């Protein structure tokens, strides 16, 4: 049985009429950049995340870069973050001229180990940038406490965690800014690139709107060196349709993750761990085993999709060789052992049963 890591076509087919109507409306209107769909989607996202404002931008990477820039973070500054993320997290920090300072991760959640943050605070530290990896939020209560104590800005990388919550508060509503990606494979995915920044700070929202449009509040009266990073109407129209289904899809992901947990519980495999105060959205279902590479080869031969998130911790990348940091043993081990198995809302029980059976067989063979 062929089972992809995720199936974007299945989602499209389930909403085809609504999507085509929404997208058709954009073509009829002739407005393609920052129009009524973007404004409405910004409001809907703010409401969904529980923030006062949301600002649409070109992609999740830009959401991070603009947030850092709008908060005044730049050359010589340090931003404490996790080495276990997509490159964009650290890249955004470097892009504004600051330096990422990596703390090791927690071995159960794979999110930043908050107990190590204070040791890394220096005179140059300006911000903490936690990532809610794989759809589970970082320990935001403790991160916010540390930030308040040391007067640091907090920017949440919520690109993988739209709809996730911690202590009943959604991702993107804890820090000074929350950054989202609508890359097609995300839980809320567009048909191209897209991003959003959430915030409760009116002045920050205003500055972000100015920066995303070439540093101008009024056309041709540019007041800062900004960016061309705008969400377009086609993406917003599509994403507005999909946002209406996001809660149902995230719930389906949780149900399927629970089902995997009970199917796989007896196997010699490290399963995802949920912290008690968190409601995750399982952007990815991550398991771990020391023989990861053999296991994924066998799964792939059977037609079962897998993914490695991420094979190289960020501090080990050549671009960060100059920043002597580490060793960070927990992330270094995790990057050798973790892998994702298929999880998407439209997945069937028989697909899950098949994957669990095949995994059991592969692990059995490894033992013999």
**What is the contact surface with ligand PLP in residues (CB under 6 A)?**
59-61, 85-86, 88-89, 131, 157, 159-160, 181, 183, 193, 195
Taking alpha carbons only, the member of 186, 187, 157, 185 closest to residue 172 is: 157
Residues paired with 286 in a beta bridge: 340
Cα–Cα distance for residue pair 140/175, rounded to 1 Å: 8
Which residue lies nearer to ligand PLP by CB, 185 or 200? 185
Please report how close the Cβ of residue 136 comes to ligand PLP at its closest, in angstroms: 12
Minimum CB–partner distance for residue 212 and ligand PLP (Å): 14
Q: Would you say 87 or 245 has its CB closer to ligand PLP?
A: 87
Q: Shortest Cβ distance from residue 188 to ligand PLP (Å)?
A: 11
Residue with tokens 């052992």: 337
And the tokens for 12? 């499209």
3-state secondary structure 69-111: HHCCCCCCCEEEECCCCCCHHHHHHHHCCCEEEECCECCCCCC
Each residue of 183-221: b (16+ CB within 10 Å) or e?
Answer: beebbbbbeebbbbbbbbbeebbebbbbbbbbebeeeee
Q: Which residue has the tokens 């490159």?
A: 87
In contact, 149 and 121? CB cutoff 8 Å: no
Nearer to ligand PLP, 86 or 320 (CB): 86
Contact 49, 171 (CB under 8 A): yes
Residue nearest ligand PLP, CB atom distance: 60
In degrees and rounded to multiples of 5, residue 195 shows phi and psi of -155, 170
Please report how close the Cβ of residue 195 comes to ligand PLP at its closest, in angstroms. 5
Q: Which is nearer to ligand PLP, 51 or 82 (CB)?
A: 82
Nearer to ligand PLP, 99 or 229 (CB): 229
Residue 143 or 356 having the CB closest to ligand PLP:
143
Q: Shortest gap between Cβ of 160 and ligand PLP (angstroms)?
A: 5
- Pull the structure tokens for residue 340: 């994702």
Tell the smallest beta-carbon distance from residue 185 to ligand PLP (Å): 8
CB of 89: closest distance to ligand PLP in angstroms?
5
Buried b (16+ CB within 10 A) or exposed e, 134-155: bbbbbbbeebbebbeeeebbbb
Which of 189/345 has CB closer to ligand PLP?
A: 189
Minimum CB separation of residue 5 from ligand PLP in Å reads: 14
């Amino acid at each position: 049985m062929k089972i992809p890591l995720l199936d974007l076509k299945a989602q499209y087919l389930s909403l085809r009429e609504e999507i085509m109507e929404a997208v058709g409306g954009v073509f009829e209107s002739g407005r393609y950049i920052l129009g009524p769909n973007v404004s409405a989607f910004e409001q809907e996202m703010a409401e969904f995340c529980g923030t006062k404002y949301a600002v649409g931008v070109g992609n999740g990477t830009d959401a991070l870069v603009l947030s850092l820039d709008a908060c005044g973070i730049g050359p010589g500054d340090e931003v404490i973050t996790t080495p276990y993320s997509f490159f964009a997290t650290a890249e955004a920090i470097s892009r504004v001229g600051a330096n990422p300072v990596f703390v090791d991760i927690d071995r159960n959640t794979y999110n930043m180990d908050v107990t190590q943050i204070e040791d890394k605070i220096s005179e140059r530290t300006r911000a903490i940038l936690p990532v809610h990896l794989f759809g589970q939020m970082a320990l935001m209560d403790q991160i916010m406490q540390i930030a308040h104590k040391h007067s640091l800005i907090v920017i949440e990388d919520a690109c993988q965690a739209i709809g996730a919550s911690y202590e009943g508060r959604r991702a993107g509503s804890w820090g000074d800014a929350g950054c989202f990606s609508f890359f097609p494979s995300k839980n809320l995915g567009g048909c191209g690139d897209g991003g959003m920044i959430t915030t409760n700070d009116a002045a920050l929202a205003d500055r972000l709107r100015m920066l995303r449009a070439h540093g101008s509040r009024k056309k041709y009266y540019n007041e800062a060196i900004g960016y061309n990073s705008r969400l377009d109407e086609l993406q917003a129209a599509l994403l507005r349709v999909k946002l209406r289904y996001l809660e149902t899809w995230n719930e389906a992901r949780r149900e399927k993750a629970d089902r995997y947990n009970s199917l796989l519980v007896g196997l010699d495999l490290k399963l995802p761990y949920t912290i008690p105060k968190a409601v995750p959205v399982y952007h990815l279902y991550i398991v771990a085993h020391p023989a990861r590479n053999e296991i994924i080869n066998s799964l792939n031969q059977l037609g079962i999709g897998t993914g490695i998130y991420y094979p190289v911790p960020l501090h080990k990348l050549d671009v960060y060789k100059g920043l002597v940091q580490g060793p960070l043993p927990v992330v270094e081990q995790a990057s050798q052992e973790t892998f994702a198995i298929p999880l998407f809302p439209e997945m069937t029980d028989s697909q899950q049963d098949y994957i669990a059976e095949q995994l059991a067989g592969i692990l059995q063979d490894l033992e013999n």
